[in-house]
Structure 1
Amino acid sequence: MTKDILIGTIFGIVLLTAGILTFIHVSNDHVECETVVENTVGANGEVITTERHICNERFNF
């Protein structure tokens, strides 16, 4: 294996990895997600706030 082929292979792998990570970052927009906040009162009268992230996307990276 020559030095040029090795450098080209490493450059190709790095470029492919960067492209895949960019695609995942751009396509993970959480359009179908929502945040639900629930307030409840505990036994001692304190207010307990629970925040849930609900996501109905088919694929979530």
Structure 2
Amino acid sequence: MTDHRLILALGRLERAITRLEAGVEAAPSFGHDENEALFRLAERHRTLREATESAIERIDRLLGTN
């Protein structure tokens, strides 16, 4: 890699890091209520996912494809 291409690549990396840092600083901070709602949503998602996987396994067994 030539020096010029290296300098350009480093410039792109620096700009990308700057954008990432700005995004982190601009990210919303959640309060207790929002965190609790996100936790409940994640738990509900896990429960639904497990139920779906279980149903698919039962269907597979009924169809004899497992």
**Which structure shows the bigger proportion of residues in helix conformation?**
2
Structure 1 length-normalised TM: 0.50
**Which structure shows the bigger proportion of residues in strand conformation?**
1
Higher normalized contact order (CA 8 Å, seq sep 6+, divided by chain length): 1
Structure 2 length-normalised TM: 0.46
